[in-house]
A and B are shown apart, each in its own frame.
Chain A
Amino acid sequence: MTSICLYFEVHQPVRLNRFSVFNIGNRESSLRYFDEKLNEEIFTKVAKKCYLPTNNMLLDLINESDRKFRISFSLTGTFVEYCNQFMPEIIDSFKELFKTGAVDMIEETYYHSLSSLYEDLEEFEDQVRLHRQMIKNLFNYKPKVFRNTEAIFDNRIAKKVLEMGYKGMITEGTEKILGWRSPNYLYRPVNTNLKVLLRNYNLSDDVGFRFSARLWKDYPLTADKFSQWISNCQGQVVNLFMDYETFGEHQWTETGIFDFLKHLPEKVFNYKHLDFMTVSEAVEAYDPVGEIDVPWAISWADEDRDVSTWLGNDMQLACFNELKNIGDKIRQKGDEELLKTWRKLQTSDHLYYVSTKGLADGDVHAYFSPYEGPYEGFINYMNILQDLKQKLD
């Protein structure tokens, strides 16, 4: 038997207001960092195109398959706050999905942050606890599997995650750590007894990135064809992990992405040796077949599959350090609003917008960025960090 783990990352960042050097230290612009209007606009747009229709479809598919179609989600704290603020019915629909018993919830940092890369992991633990509390409040459930921001993973983080009581963790199935080995098995980090699920990036990206690429030799991708590819895989699991926004947002309805999703379960069930499992079930059912050693952080982002997407240039490092270094002061101050603001600024997207990778060829970074380019992104973010810093003196 080979089990398909279908897992979706559900996240929306908190986009920033335009904040110039002249706003730094200015009372009127005090802590007015977040662009409420733009955030609401984007959120409601994506909700209508993706979250609501996809949730509905998944619920039908689960019920029609008698709960044999099983999926996993991770919802970030910033996403859930948007739901509460703008469209509480989305939370209700996630609750309904969860009630079927065919849906698993995955843990991560509440703010989708890079706190796992700080020397001191206290902030990371706090943000994981915040997420844990949120999932408990929403679903009365304690997740067993952890997925760090953008699947960032190394030995040190794995050890901490095990210490915090999780049984499994998700990361990228990159050759960097696997060499010749297959991502379709569970592995164990060299230093801890955690079960690691690895994303099958070829099959995941066939849906996430290539689905509507007309120049791709396998275009158009159908549920039939895709199930056949999966059925040819050997191993314990095939981990298909992607952004939830793939459905209806990155890939528009017109591309046929919803038809694809709709027919996927029935096509998979044609193969007797395939089934669906949630990530918790996969971690229960299978044992690691080998070890992985990850001294340097990997992730599922870009071609490099490391953290250079967020920390690849001097501007990104400067922002990252600035933010990290004011942490002690902010945490000691005990001002809830300040602490929350600082944490919202830790969301990894802010650094993603400052990436200069492939800038000259205008690549995928530009698609997601609310700025004209990385330099504008840096100036805005850095100005805000300088303002926040001044608030501490």
Chain B
Amino acid sequence: MKIAMIGWEYPPFKAGGLATHCYGLTRSLADKNIKVDFYMPKTKQSAESDRPNLRIIETGETEIFPYDRPDTKEIGGKFYDAVYYYNALVVSKVEENIKTNGKYDAIHCHDWLTMKAGVTLKHKTGTPLVLTVHSTEYDRSGWLYPNQWFIDIEKEGMENADRIIAVSHFTKRVITEKYGINPDKISVVHNAVYPIQEGHKKEIVLFLGRLTIQKGTEFFLRAAQKVKDYEPDTRFIVAGSGDMLPKLISQAIDLGISDKTIFTGRLTDEEVKHLYGISSVYVMPSVSEPFGITALEAISAGTPTIASKTAGFSEAFANCLKVDFWDTDEMANKIISLLRYDPLHKTMAEEGKREVELFTWDRVADRTIEVYQGVT
């Protein structure tokens, strides 16, 4: 079987869970004898394949950062143009490859940015289209002021797809309820993780993610303030960057926790892994979270995790603590309990690591192949 997969991020270039997903999925597919051509924009650091069945095909440069939110018309204009430009490039590149190497069995797109290309190729070449939805515009906007332009692209992609893979039942519901898609067309495949080495634990409570409204960082800071009086030696790390950073720094100062809170900015992969390893508690307070691979990463590094109840991760994982993202009292209660009660920390760390072993890319690849088989 031969698949044209269209994405826009792949390690070492990485902005979110989509890169992690594409990396794990393509390698495991290749190991299962599926030939994958992975199309993506050219980035500063070139992505490389370590599997003979997997080719990374970089198609032109683009300035787009898909988690940016075009606030003004001017940036918006450029942004939209860049998106159309990338999609058009991908289409011609894929067509070129089809001419030399023959047709693909399916086209597989990830999220809105690549959907235009997927839909065009489907109609031009008559190849079935599979679409994985990692997040929707509703998630990225935190359900406040979603942008219709993105929604229209997403809807068009979903309607044209022969089969949709949602990363959680939560996301499947959004796709059916907000985009009016037939649920029978949607398969749920939960994400996976390559385990991370556990480090020497310190009294650190970690947040890691893009600092956008979607990720609920402000609730993390509010909980931190409540923890501070009870566990004065604890430090809170906010790792990542994003448009909310200046606002969050001011918030930390206002809350009187700036001496306990560290904003790291953007980190390298190695730094991220190190942080997961040495943290005692990981908190994922997302307002809207289709899955949340970071929770799996933290748990694989032996770090007990408190996650938003509605996160896709929470529906799939038992050995974690769940909270309403707005309930910062309960969040603080759980953070303090994890810091204070060793038996709780130890049991969650051990049982969590055991459960996380079930979340393999091998399983994701198997489920994805089932989807391919359904459309070809």
A376 to B344, CA, bound (A): 10
Are A315 and B347 neighbours in the complex by a CB distance under 8 Å? yes
**Pairwise interchain contact A21-B230, C-beta atoms closer than 8 A:** yes
Within 8 A of B (CB), among A137-180: none
Q: A359-B318, A362-B318 are in contact. Are A21 and B337 (CB under 8 A)?
A: yes
B338-362: CB near A (< 8 Å → 1, else 0) gives 0011111011100100010010000
Within 8 Å CB of B342, what residues of A?
314, 318
* Chain A residues, Cβ within 8 Å of B346: 314
Majority SS at the chain B contact face: helix
CB distance from B320 to the nearest CB of A (A): 8
- Asked if A379 lies at the interface with its beta carbon under 8 angstroms from chain B, I say yes
Contact across chains for B321 and A376 when beta carbons are under 8 A apart = yes
Closest to A362 in B: B318
B319 touches A356 (CB 8 A): yes
- Would you call A378 and B341 a contact (CB within 8 A)? yes
Which B residues touch A379, using CB under 8 A? 333-334, 337, 341, 344
Contact B343 A314, beta carbon cutoff 8 Å = yes
Whether the Cβ atoms of A21 and B336 lie closer than 8 Å is yes
CB pair B344–A20 under 8 Å, yes or no, is no
User: A335 contacts the other chain (Cβ, under 8 Å)?
Assistant: no
B321: which A residues are within 8 A, CB to CB? 375-376
Roughly how many angstroms separate A373 CA and B319 CA in the complex, as a whole number? 9
A318, chain B: closest CB distance, angstroms: 4
Residues 299-313 (chain A) with a chain B CB within 8 angstroms: 313
| Contact partners of A285 in chain B: CB under 8 A | none
A104 to chain B, nearest CB (A): 41
**CB of B322 closer than 8 Å to a CB of A:** yes
Identify the interface centre among A317, A373, A375: most chain B CB within 10 Å of its CB.
Answer: A375
Return the contact of B330 from the options A20, A314, A360, A383 (Cβ within 8 A).
A20
Taking residues whose C-beta sits less than 8 angstroms from the other chain, chain B's interface range is 20 to 34
Asked if A372 is an interface residue, CB under 8 A from chain B, the answer is yes
Is B329 located at the chain interface by the 8 A CB criterion? Answer: yes
Q: Please judge, given known A-B contacts A315-B344, A317-B343, A378-B341, whether A21 and B333 are in contact too, CB under 8 Å.
A: yes
User: Which of B333, B341, B343 lies in contact with A22, CB distance below 8 A?
Assistant: B333
Q: Is the CB of A359 within 8 A of B333?
A: no
A360-B319 in contact given A317-B343, A378-B341, A382-B341 (Cβ < 8 Å): yes
Q: Would you give the shortest CB distance from B171 to chain A, in whole angstroms?
A: 21
Rounded to whole angstroms, the CA-CA distance of A315 and B349 in the bound complex is: 12
Q: How far is the CA of A359 from the CA of B320 in the complex (A)?
A: 11
Known: A21-B337, A372-B322. A356 touches B344 (CB 8 A): no
- Tell me whether B318 and A360 are in contact (CB under 8 A): yes
Q: Are B344 and A21 in contact (CB under 8 A)?
A: no
For A313, list chain B residues within 8 Å (CB).
343, 347
Task: Kindly name the residue among B318, B321, B336, B358 whose own CB sees the greatest number of chain A CB atoms within 10 A.
Answer: B318
3 nearest A-B pairs in the assembled complex, by CB-CB distance: A314-B343, A20-B333, A318-B343
Known: A22-B226, A378-B337, A383-B333. 4 other contacts (CB 8 A): A21-B230, A314-B347, A360-B318, A362-B318
List 7 A-B residue pairs with CB atoms under 8 Å apart, sorted by A's residue number: A22-B329, A315-B344, A317-B343, A356-B351, A372-B322, A379-B334, A383-B337
